[in-house]
């Protein structure tokens, strides 16, 4: 799984930080989480084609997380996209996309498929090798955190299958896919020839939220937690009032959830440097960094999370 931070600023972008957006490559799909203003330009800088995006997940409907959508949707139309684009988000996302469809004069030659999330905790997408979950957080407007988790198939025990009389060939594939097969009048069950379940890599993105106990459960044992940390603890009252988290509290969540790596994001423009937030967080959770625009993160099984320098 590979993630690229396209934007890491909060309400007001800065010279070095764009509005929030994260591009995720997982399995055969390319996912965009949030789409702040100028996300298109950031995709160009990262040398990623927006035409490859399959799904967009919006955490909430504040401008710094959605104002890149109209331009992106129109540009995809101008470039001749024909395949559908899925857009997920909280209540109001359908109305928002409908307004975008009628914003100005242009023709969309592809389908915009909107999915409004109404449950507090739900799996919103799943295929054979990964799934996406959403959990409601607490912000000043409806807001969701997202978890993307790889699903690894159990190891196929070839020697065991042969021992049970299953000939190498198509029947192996059926068993690997979880289907029973019949050999000489005996039915062989998949669990007889499959090893124990194997864990896949997973990460969580918090969206904008005040600290939530439910996040500890949602992010339990993930390889990577990306949590907003808009302010430092000296202005915790302001953070809470505006529905945000301070670095210290994000670190405490990471520690209690036993995550491998914490990456903070959504920096307020009052800070010219993220070091105060990183130092504050590392008092509690050492394996912490603050995201930078165009920074790339790679998550692989049985390997530490790899953070590459921004391009």
* Phi-psi group of 238: left, alpha or beta (phi > 0 → left; psi -120 to 50 → alpha; rest → beta): alpha
Residue ranges of alpha helices (H) inside the chain are: 39-45, 63-66, 69-78, 93-101, 158-163, 170-176, 213-218, 236-241, 247-257, 275-282
Report the candidate in 247, 226, 55, 92 with the shortest Cα–Cα distance to residue 146: 226
As given in the structure block, the two tokens for residue 232 are 């430092």
Helices 69-78 and 93-101: crossing angle, nearest 10°?
A: 50
Tokens of 112: 């915009």
Indicate the DSSP class of residue 52: G
Residue 199 CA from chain centroid, whole number: 18
Contact 7, 13 (CB under 8 A): yes
CA distance 98 to 101: 5
Active site residue 54: no
Would you say 9 and 267 are in contact if contact means Cβ atoms under 8 Å apart? yes
The answer to whether the CB of 87 falls within 8 A of the CB of 115 is yes
> Which residue from 109, 114, 29, 45 is spatially nearest to 74, judged by alpha carbons?
109
**Catalytically annotated residue among 34, 55, 64, 208:** 64
Alpha helices (runs of H) in 209-308, residue ranges in sequence order: 213-218, 236-241, 247-257, 275-282
Could you give the residue numbers annotated as active site?
64
């Amino acid at each position: 799984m590979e993630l690229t931070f396209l934007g890491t600023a909060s309400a007001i972008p800065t010279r070095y930080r764009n509005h929030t957006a994260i591009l995720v490559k997982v399995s055969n799909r390319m996912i965009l989480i949030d789409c702040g203003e100028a996300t298109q330009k950031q995709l160009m800088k990262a040398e990623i084609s927006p035409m490859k995006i399959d799904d967009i997940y919006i955490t909430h409907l504040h401008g710094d997380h959605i104002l890149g959508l109209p331009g992106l949707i129109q540009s995809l139309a101008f470039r001749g996209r024909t395949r559908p684009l899925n857009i997920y988000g909280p209540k109001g996302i359908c109305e928002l996309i409908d307004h975008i469809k009628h914003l100005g004069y242009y023709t969309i030659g592809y389908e915009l498929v909107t999915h409004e999330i109404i449950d507090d905790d739900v799996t919103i997408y799943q295929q054979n090798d990964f799934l996406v979950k959403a959990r409601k957080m607490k912000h000043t407007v409806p807001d969701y955190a997202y978890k993307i988790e790889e699903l690894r198939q159990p190891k196929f025990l070839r020697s065991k299958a042969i021992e049970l009389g299953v000939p190498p060939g198509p029947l192996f594939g059926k068993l690997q896919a979880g289907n029973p097969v019949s050999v000489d009048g005996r039915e062989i069950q998949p669990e007889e020839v499959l090893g124990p379940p194997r864990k896949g890599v997973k990460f969580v993105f918090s969206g904008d939220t005040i600290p939530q106990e439910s996040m500890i459960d949602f992010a339990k044992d993930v390889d990577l937690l990306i949590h907003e940390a808009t302010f430092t603890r000296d202005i915790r009252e302001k953070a809470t009032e505006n529905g945000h988290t301070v670095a210290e509290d994000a670190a405490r969540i990471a520690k209690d959830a036993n995550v491998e790596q914490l990456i903070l994001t959504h920096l307020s423009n009052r800070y010219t440097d993220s070091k105060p937030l990183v130092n504050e967080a590392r008092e509690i959770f050492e394996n912490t960094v603050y995201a930078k625009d165009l920074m790339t993160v790679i998550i692989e099984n049985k390997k530490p999370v790899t953070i590459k320098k921004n391009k």
